[in-house]
Amino acid sequence: MLVKRASTILDGAWCYIGGSIEQGEKAWEAALREIKEETGINEVTLYSSNKFDQFYSPEEEYIYMAPVFVGYVDSRQHVQLNHEHTEYKWLPIQEAMETATLPGNDEVLAFIDKHFVQRTPSPFLRVGKEKSKG
């Protein structure tokens, strides 16, 4: 799923879900929270991808770096976008790579395709409260 941003940061950009880690939160907990806050989706099988996403903001002079997580969801779950986004699209991986706005997002999506779409992910990368199941 890609979402179209509607905020001062990356307004109008098509990207995957992202956000900040709150005080006392683990990165994977932040990933689950952001998915729920931004889309309303709360049934997610989450994996650490073992990859990081990054970009540099020349206007605000910072480098954003975050671990990438891969969430498997049933696309029939009801999506309710919050105020941060105007649209969403469920896309095949190749179309997602062509649609993502920021350079580098396509490389992250290609990595996800190779390790999480074309292959079954390693159970060692599974994270989240339901880790012990499966």
Q: Model confidence over 18-58: pLDDT tens digits? A: 888 999 999 999 999 999 999 999 999 999 999 999 888 88
Q: How many domains does the chain divide into?
A: 1
> What is the C-alpha separation between 88 and 11, in angstroms, rounded?
14
Within a domain: 34: yes
- Read off the pLDDT of each residue in 107-121 and give the average, rounded to a whole number: 96
Q: Which amino acid is at 50?
A: N
The boundaries of the domain holding residue 24 are: 2-127
DSSP state of 21: P
CB count in 10 Å sphere of residue 24: 6
Mean pLDDT, all residues of the chain: 91
Within a domain: 59: yes
- Read off the pLDDT of each residue in 3-9 and give the average, rounded to a whole number: 89
Q: Which amino acid is at 73?
A: V
Q: Kindly report the backbone phi and psi dihedral angles of residue 107, in degrees, each rounded to the nearest multiple of 5, phi listed first.
A: -70, -40
Whether the CB-CB separation of 42 and 127 falls below 8 Å is answered with no
Sheet containing 45-57: give its strands across: 62-72, 45-57, 126-127
Within a domain: 134: no
Per-residue pLDDT, 130:
54
Which residue's structure tokens are 């900040």?
A: 20
DSSP state of 11: T
Per-residue pLDDT, 131:
45
Within a domain: 133: no
